[in-house]
């Protein structure tokens, strides 16, 4: 698999009123993302509530995305779980249905204790889908597993033949840059902090995965375009719109708040699962008012 360029949307889980998974909406989501100019989808991750879903539900979602994408857009399947046995099941299934890549977080209950231990764990997962590119998903703020990623690459490349790179969701840009340049750019290091996309481009990012690309991709694609044209000030001004939106977003629980934005854009995803709770009506109204005040929806529309 070649390195991924452009933006990958980390999509959200969709539920019916009775709390079951809504698979019917997936083709609509995929078509929207293709129309928005995205390069792919990352499913069942943090925003897709992977840890809140059963393995069977995750398999059904993966099948629905692969079918809806029909090779028009990449499908990256997150297979992380607190049980490596379940990870392997999800990985093998993803390969069998023709997913373009798989990714896994570190176990988040019994956590890896060293880079060596982390590499052994990831090697077990990746080996269940030997013909599918594997990305380690580093997200220390959620897993509590923060280790040196250069050391990880040095050790992992020896034992994970299908290692494609890292989904790098951390704000440590110096380490990100080191990973991008490891062995003259041997690995695909996908950046995962949407509000820091511009600084990541400045240190060599070519591909990124993020949740806000699900509803604001045109804004970020404009950042990339302006940056590539050497229009630094305009790119910074465009990135600031993302920063302002994220600053508003984090006043609420981030996943429910982003789901509320999807609803504001006309895609009803239903209520998330406990312990996540949807925004209250007053929170949602307050949030929408603020987004309108900063002109967020207009900026996304004008960026198309």
- Which active-site residues does the annotation give? 137, 167
- Per residue, the 3-state secondary structure of the chain, as one string, reads CCCCCEEEEECCCCECCCCCECCCCHHHHHHHHHHCCCCEEEECCCCCCHHHCCHHHHHHHHHHHHHHHCCCCEEEEECCCCCHHHHHHHHHHHHHHCCCEEEECCCCCCCCCCHHHHHHHHHHHHCCCCCCCEEEEECHHHHCCCCCHHHHHHHHHHHCCCEEEEEECCCCHHHHHHHHCHHHCCCEEEECCHHHHHHHHHCCCCEEEECCHHHHHHHHHHHHHHHHCCCHHHHHHHHHHHHHHHHHHCCCCHHHHHHHHHHHCCCCCCCCCCCCCCCCHHHHHHHHHHHHHCCHHHHHHHHC
Q: What is the pLDDT of residues 220-243, one digit of tens each?
A: 999 999 999 999 999 999 999 999
Domain contains 18: yes
pLDDT of residue 2: 87
Domain contains 240: no
Domain contains 301: no
- As a whole number, mean pLDDT of residues 280-301 equals 95
Q: Which of these, 6, 43, 38, 51, lies nearest to 26 by C-alpha position? A: 43
Q: Is 209 annotated as a binding residue?
A: yes
pLDDT of residue 203: 97
| pLDDT band of 265, cuts 50, 70, 90 | very high
Q: Which of these, 127, 250, 138, lies nearest to 187 by C-alpha position? A: 138
Pairing of strands 40-43, 74-78: parallel
| pLDDT band of 145, cuts 50, 70, 90 | confident
The pLDDT of residue 165 is above 90? yes
Domain contains 265: no
Domain contains 35: yes
pLDDT of residue 224: 97
Domain that holds residue 134: 6-217
The pLDDT of residue 141 is above 90? no
pLDDT of residue 196: 96
- Angle, CA of 159, 93 and 167, to the nearest 5°: 50
| Rg (alpha carbons) of the chain, rounded to whole number | 18
Domain contains 85: yes
For 102, how many CA atoms within 13 A lie in the half-sphere containing its CB? 33
- As a whole number, mean pLDDT of residues 246-274 equals 95
What average pLDDT is seen over the chain?
96
Q: What is the pLDDT of residues 167-226, one digit of tens each?
A: 999 999 999 999 999 999 999 999 999 999 999 999 999 999 999 999 999 999 999 999
pLDDT of residue 142: 80
Domain contains 249: no
What's the Cα-to-Cα distance from 144 to each of 69, 174, 275, rounded to whole Å?
33, 20, 19
pLDDT of residue 146: 83
The pLDDT of residue 279 is above 80? yes
- The pTM for the full model equals 0.96
* CATH number reported for the structural domain that contains residue 19 in this entry: 3.20.20.70
CB 155 within 8 A of CB 120: no
Domain contains 274: no
Tokens of 255: 């996943």
Domain total in the chain: 1
- As a whole number, mean pLDDT of residues 136-149 equals 87
- As a whole number, mean pLDDT of residues 126-146 equals 92
């Amino acid at each position: 698999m070649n390195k991924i360029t452009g933006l990958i949307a980390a999509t959200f889980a969709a539920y019916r009123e009775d709390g079951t998974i809504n698979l019917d909406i997936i083709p609509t989501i995929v078509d929207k993302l293709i129309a928005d100019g995205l390069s792919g989808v990352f499913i069942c991750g943090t925003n897709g509530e992977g840890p809140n879903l059963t393995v069977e539900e995750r398999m059904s979602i993966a099948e629905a995305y692969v079918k809806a994408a029909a090779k028009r857009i990449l499908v990256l399947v997150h297979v992380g779980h607190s049980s490596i046995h379940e990870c392997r099941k999800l990985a093998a299934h993803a390969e069998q249905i023709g997913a373009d890549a798989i990714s896994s977080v570190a176990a988040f209950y019994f956590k890896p204790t060293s880079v060596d231990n982390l590499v052994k764990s990831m090697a077990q997962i990746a080996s269940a889908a030997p013909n599918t590119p594997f990305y380690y998903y580093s997200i220390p703020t959620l897993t509590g597993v923060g280790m040196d990623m250069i050391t990880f690459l040095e050790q992992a490349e020896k034992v994970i033949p299908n290692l494609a790179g890292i989904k790098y969701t951390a704000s440590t840009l110096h380490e990100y840059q080191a990973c991008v340049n490891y062995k003259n750019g041997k690995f695909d290091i996908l950046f995962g902090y949407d509000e820091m996309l511009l600084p990541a481009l400045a240190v060599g990012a070519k591909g990124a995965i993020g949740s806000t690309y699900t509803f604001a991709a045109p804004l970020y694609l404009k950042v990339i375009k302006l940056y590539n044209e050497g229009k630094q000030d305009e790119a910074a001004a465009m990135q600031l719109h993302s920063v302002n939106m994220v600053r508003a977003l984090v006043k609420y629980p981030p996943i429910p708040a982003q789901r509320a934005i999807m609803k504001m854009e006309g895609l009803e995803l239903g209520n998330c699962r406990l312990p996540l709770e949807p925004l209250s009506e007053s929170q949602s109204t307050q949030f929408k008012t603020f987004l309108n005040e900063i002109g967020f929806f207009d900026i996304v529309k004008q960026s198309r």
